[in-house]
A and B are shown apart, each in its own frame.
Chain A
Amino acid sequence: MLTIEMQHNGDIAIGGRFDASQTDKVRSFLSTIETSMVVDMTNMEYISSAGLGVLLMTQKRLQDSGHRLKLKKMNKHIRDVFTFAGFDQIFEIEN
Chain B
Amino acid sequence: MQSLEKIFDFIGAFTSEAGITPSQIFPIQFAIEELFTNMVKYQKDSLQDIAITMENVGRQVIVTLIDPDCEPFNVLKAIEPEINQPLAERQAGGLGVYLTKKMVDAMDYQYTNRKSIITLTKNLEG
Give the interface of A toward B (CB within 8 A): 17, 19-21, 46, 48-50, 52-53, 56-57, 59-60, 63, 76-77, 81, 84-86, 89-90
Q: Which 6 A-B pairs have the closest CB atoms?
A: A86-B83, A53-B92, A49-B96, A21-B1, A77-B26, A49-B95
Across-interface contacts of A52 in B (CB, < 8 A): 92, 95
Kindly state whether residue B102 has any CB partner on chain A within 8 Å.
Answer: yes
Pair count A-B, CB < 8 A: 63
Give the interface of B toward A (CB within 8 A): 1-2, 4-5, 8, 23, 26-27, 29-30, 33-34, 37, 83-88, 90, 92-93, 95-96, 98-99, 102-103
Given contacts A21-B5, A59-B87, A76-B23, 6 further A-B contacts (CB under 8 A): A17-B8, A20-B33, A46-B26, A49-B96, A57-B92, A85-B95
Mostly, the B contact residues are helix
Q: How many Å lie between the Cα of A79 and that of B84 in the bound state?
A: 17
Whether the pair B4, A86 counts as a contact (CB closer than 8 A) is no
Whether the pair B37, A20 counts as a contact (CB closer than 8 A) is yes
Whether the pair B95, A20 counts as a contact (CB closer than 8 A) is no
Q: How many Å lie between the Cα of A34 and that of B66 in the bound state?
A: 43
Whether the pair B5, A81 counts as a contact (CB closer than 8 A) is no
Distance (whole angstroms) from the CB of B93 to the closest CB of chain A: 8
Distance (whole angstroms) from the CB of B45 to the closest CB of chain A: 19
Q: How many Å lie between the Cα of A50 and that of B100 in the bound state?
A: 13
Q: How many Å lie between the Cα of A49 and that of B94 in the bound state?
A: 9
Closest to B102 in A: A84
- Could you say which of A17, A19, A50, A90 contacts B86, with CB atoms under 8 Å apart? A90
Q: How many Å lie between the Cα of A2 and that of B111 in the bound state?
A: 36
Subset of 22 A-B contacts with CB under 8 Å? A17-B8, A19-B8, A20-B1, A20-B37, A21-B2, A46-B30, A48-B33, A48-B96, A49-B96, A50-B37, A50-B96, A52-B92, A53-B92, A53-B93, A57-B92, A60-B90, A81-B99, A85-B83, A85-B99, A86-B83, A86-B85, A90-B87
